[in-house]
Amino acid sequence: MARKVLEVNDLTIKFGGVTALNGVTIHVDEAEIAALIGPNGAGKTTIFNVVTGYYAPSSGNFLLDGKSLVGQRPHAIARQGLSRTFQNIRLFGDMTALENVSTAADGLNKSGLIGSLFGSPRSRRDEFNSRKKAESLLQFIGLEHRAGQLARNLPYGDQRRLEIARALALNPKVLLLDEPAAGFNPQEKSELGQLIRKIREVGHSILLIEHDMSLVMDVSDRVMVLDFGNKIADGKPREIQRDQRVIDAYLGVADHDS
Amino acid sequence: MKKILVLFNPRDRFGDWWDRATSLQRGMFRLVLIGLFFALPFINNPVIDTPETSFESVLFYPLVMFAIMAVGLNVVVGKSGILDLGYVAFFAIGAYTQAVFGIFTDLNFWLVLLLGMGFAMLAGILLGVPALRLRGDYLAIITLGFGEIVRIIAVNTEAIGGAAGLTGIPSPPPILGMEFSVQDLRPYYWLSLTILLLVLWGIVRLSHRKPGRAWEAIREDEDVAAFMGVQTFRYKLWAFVIGGAIGGAAGVIYASQILSIEPKMFELNLSIMILACVVFGGMGNIWGVIFGAVLLGYLPEKLRFLTDYRILIFGILMVVMMNLRPNGLIPRKKREVILEKI
pLDDT at B25 over 50: yes
C-alpha closest to that of B269 among B66, B54, B60:
B66
Q: ipTM for the complex? A: 0.94
Q: Is B176 left (phi over 0), alpha (psi -120 to 50) or beta?
A: left
Torsional sign, CA B108, B112, B115, B121: negative
Q: Which residue of A has its CA nearest to B232?
A: A75
C-alpha closest to that of A7 among A78, A93, A67:
A67
CB of B291 within 8 A of CB of B182?
no
Q: Is A86 on the interface with B (CB under 8 A)?
A: yes
Tens of pLDDT, residue by residue over B73-115, are 999 999 999 999 999 999 999 999 999 999 999 999 999 999 9
CA–chain centroid gap for A229, Å, is 19
CB-nearest to A149 from B220, B221, B336 is B336
Question: Buried b vs exposed e over A164-182: b needs ≥16 C-beta within 10 Å?
Answer: bbbbbbbbbbbbbbbbbbe
With contacts defined as CB-CB under 8 Å, which chain A residues touch B235?
A: 113
Q: Is A63 on the interface with B (CB under 8 A)?
A: no
Domain enclosing residue B230, as ranges: 45-324
With contacts defined as CB-CB under 8 Å, which chain B residues touch A153?
A: 336
Query: CB neighbours (10 Å) of residue B259?
Result: 14
Residue B226 lies in a domain: yes
Q: Which residues pair with residue A69 across a beta bridge?
A: none
Residue B27 lies in a domain: no
Q: For residue A34, give how far its alpha carbon lies from the nearest alpha carbon of chain B (Å).
A: 21
Q: φ and ψ at B31, to 5 degrees?
A: -60, -45
pLDDT number for residue B1? 45
For residue B62, cis peptide bond before it (omega within 30 degrees of 0): yes
Interface of A with B in 217-246 (CB under 8 A): none
Q: Which residues pair with residue A62 across a beta bridge?
A: A8
Q: For residue A168, give how far its alpha carbon lies from the nearest alpha carbon of chain B (Å).
A: 10
Longest CA–CA separation in chain A, Å:
78
Amino acid occupying residue B323: N
With contacts defined as CB-CB under 8 Å, which chain A residues touch B238?
A: 113
Say what angle helices A97-106 and A156-168 make with each other, to 10 degrees: 20
Separation of alpha carbons B103 and B125, rounded Å: 27
CB of A34 within 8 A of CB of A210?
no
Tell if the CB–CB gap between B238 and A113 is shorter than 8 Å.
yes
CB of A20 within 8 A of CB of A229?
yes
Q: For residue B219, give how far its alpha carbon lies from the nearest alpha carbon of chain A (Å).
A: 9
* Sites in chain A below the pLDDT cut of 50: 258
Give the three-class secondary structure for B74.
Answer: helix
With contacts defined as CB-CB under 8 Å, which chain B residues touch A75?
A: 226-232
CB of A86 within 8 A of CB of B224?
yes
Tens of pLDDT, residue by residue over B283-327, are 999 999 999 999 999 988 888 888 788 888 888 988 998 899 888
Q: DSSP letters of B229-278? A: T--HHHHHHHHHHHHHHHHHHHHHHHHHHHS-B-GGGGSHHHHHHHHHHH
CA dihedral A150, A152, A153, A157 (to 10 degrees): 110
Tell if the CB–CB gap between A149 and B337 is shorter than 8 Å.
yes
Separation of alpha carbons B254 and B192, rounded Å: 9
Tens of pLDDT, residue by residue over B155-189, are 999 999 999 999 999 999 998 888 898 888 899 99
Q: What percent of chain B has pLDDT over 70?
A: 97
Tell if the CB–CB gap between A75 and B230 is shorter than 8 Å.
yes
Q: Which domains does chain A have, with CATH numbers?
A: 1-81+172-258 (3.40.50.300), 91-163 (no CATH)
Tell if the CB–CB gap between B205 and A84 is shorter than 8 Å.
no
CA–chain centroid gap for B78, Å, is 12
Whole-Å CA distances, B137 to A15, A81, B131, B253: 25, 34, 11, 32
Whole-Å CA distances, B227 to A11, A48, A81, B61, B243: 20, 11, 11, 43, 26
Amino acid occupying residue A65: D
Residue B28 lies in a domain: no
pLDDT number for residue A207? 98
Residue B49 lies in a domain: yes
Amino acid occupying residue B7: L
Give the three-class secondary structure for A151.
Answer: helix
With residues binned 3-state (H G I as helix, E B as strand, rest as coil), the percentages for chain B, rounded to 5, are 75, 0, 25
Give the three-class secondary structure for A222.
Answer: strand
CB of A185 within 8 A of CB of A193?
no
| Residue of B203, B206, B210, B213 to mutate, testing the A interface (most A Cβ within 10 Å of its Cβ) | B210
Q: For residue A116, give how far its alpha carbon lies from the nearest alpha carbon of chain B (Å).
A: 6
Q: Which residue of B has its CA nearest to A129?
A: B210
Q: How many helices (H) and strands (E) does chain B have?
A: 15, 0
Give the three-class secondary structure for B308.
Answer: helix
- Mean pLDDT over B188-215 rounds to 96
Q: What percent of chain B has pLDDT over 90?
A: 71
Q: Is A94 on the interface with B (CB under 8 A)?
A: yes
- Which residues, in sequence order, are CB contacts of A92 under 8 Å at separation 6+? A99, A100, A103, A151, B216, B217, B220, B221, B224, B225
Interface of A with B in 142-161 (CB under 8 A): 145-150, 153
CB-nearest to B224 from A90, A130, A146 is A90
pLDDT number for residue A258? 47
CA–chain centroid gap for B288, Å, is 11
Separation of alpha carbons B186 and A210, rounded Å: 67
Q: For residue B341, give how far its alpha carbon lies from the nearest alpha carbon of chain A (Å).
A: 6
Residue B19 lies in a domain: no
CA dihedral A159, A161, A165, A171 (to 10 degrees): 130
Query: Strands A205-209 and A33-37, how do they pair?
Result: parallel
Task: Report the half-sphere exposure of B29 (CA within 13 A, side-chain side).
Answer: 9
Which carries the bigger pLDDT value, residue B58 or residue B195? B195
Residue B169 lies in a domain: yes
Work out how many domains chain B is built from and give that number: 1
pLDDT at B336 over 90: no
B280: domain CATH number is 1.10.3470
CB of B309 within 8 A of CB of B299?
no
pLDDT number for residue B339? 72
CB-nearest to A52 from B205, B227, B333 is B227
Query: CB neighbours (10 Å) of residue B177?
Result: 6
With contacts defined as CB-CB under 8 Å, which chain A residues touch B211?
A: 113, 116-117
Tell if the CB–CB gap between B227 and A123 is shorter than 8 Å.
no
Mean pLDDT of chain B: 91
Amino acid occupying residue A223: V
Residue B23 lies in a domain: no
Tell if the CB–CB gap between B230 and A106 is shorter than 8 Å.
yes
